Amino acid sequence: MVDTAVDTPITKLTAALAARRQAGEVVVAPFLTAGDPDLDFTFQALKVAQQAGATLCELGVPYSDPIADGPVIQASYTRALNAGGTLEGVFGLAARASEQLTMPLVAMTSYSIIFRRGIDRFVGEAAAVGLTGLIVPDLPIEESSLLAKACRQADVALVRLVTPTTPPERAARIAAESTGFLYCVSVAGVTGERVSLPQQLKDRVRWLKEQTDVPILVGFGISRPEQVREVGDVADGVIVGSALVRHLEATSGDQRQTALASIAQHVGELVAAGRAG
C-alpha cells in the first residue's frame, strides 16, 4: 500500500480522486492529444480544462497505429505526428504542466513506445516529469509484470482496462491489479461519441466495485451531461475523449481561442452535471 503521507506521483492522483469521492461529485477526466496542433496549445487546453473543474487529464502520446481509437482521435494523433510530435515533446509538456497546474496527468500510450524507450527508463522519466499514471491499452495483463514492477518502484499508477468482452475471471484479476483507478470501457469497439450507453453497463460497474477498492472511471462514448449523470449513479467518474478532441480539428489562427473556449465550456458542462447528480 502506498504511504499517503509521502508526496509521490500516485498519491497526487489518488488524493484528487478521493477529494471528489468525499464531495460526492463525479470525476470528469478529459482526454487530450499531446501536440495537436502543437504543444503550447495542448498546455493551454490543459489549463482551461483544470479551470473548468476537471479532476485529472489523460494525455495521449501520439502513435501511428492506435488500436483502440476511433477516427477522431486517430486523426488527432496524425496531426500531432505531422507537426513533429515526439516523446521528448510530450515529456516536456508534462513537466511544464506539472510545474504550473495542480491537476494530475495520466499518459495514454502504446506499449511499443515504452518498450522502445526501455521500461525502466520510460517509467523513470514519466515520474520525473510529473506524470502520475500510465494507461497502456495494448498491453495484456499476462505480459505486464515488468511494467507493473517498474511503476510500483516509481510510485506511478498503472491503470488497467476492462472491456465488455473481458471474461469475468480475467476482469476480476485486472480490477484487483489496477492502481490509481480502473478504466471501464463502456462499449465494445473503438473510441467515439455514442448516443446511448449499454443497459448492462451499470450492472458491470457494480460487479467491478466488488473486485477492487480503486475508483472506477467509465470511458468510450461519454460526451453529454446526461451520460455523466447516468454513469455517475454507479461509477466514480467519466473519461471524455473524442467529444473534446473534436474541438481540435480546426485550430489555426483565431480559431485557437474558439477551440479553447469550446473545451472549457464542454468540460464545465460535464463537471456541473457531475455535481448536480
Provide the sign of the torsion angle of the four alpha carbons 214, 166, 57, 152, taken in this order.
Answer: positive
Given the residues 25, 36, 38, 58, select the one marked as catalytic.
Answer: 58
Please give the full DSSP string across 38-96, using - where no structure is assigned: -HHHHHHHHHHHHHTT-S-EEEE---SS-SS--HHHHHHHHHHHHTT--HHHHHHHHHH
- Contacts of 159-167 with CB under 8 Å at 24 or more apart are 159/106, 159/133, 159/134, 159/135, 159/183, 161/135, 161/137, 161/185, 162/208, 163/188, 164/188, 164/198, 164/200, 164/204
Catalytic residue among 25, 38, 69, 155: 69
Integer CA distances (angstroms), 158 to 4, 43, 123, 128, 221, in order:
17, 23, 10, 16, 22
| Residue 210 known to be catalytic | no
Check if 69 is active-site: yes
- Return the active site residues: 58, 69
